[in-house]
Amino acid sequence: MFRKLHEPVSAVLTINIDGVPAAADPHESVAAVILREAEPWTRLTPVTGSKRAPYCMMGVCFECLAQVDGVASVQTCLEPVSDGMRVARQITPRRIGK
Interface with other proteins (CB under 8 A): 1-6, 25-29, 32-33, 35-36, 40-41, 45, 47-48, 50-63, 65, 71, 73, 77-78, 80, 96
43 bridge partner residues? 52, 90
What is the closest distance, in whole angstroms, from the C-beta atom of residue 19 to other proteins in the complex? Answer: 20
CA atoms in the 13 A half-sphere facing the CB of 23: 9
Contact (CB, 8 A) for 2 and 41: no
- Tell the smallest beta-carbon distance from residue 67 to other proteins (Å): 13
Q: What secondary structure letter does DSSP report for 90?
A: B
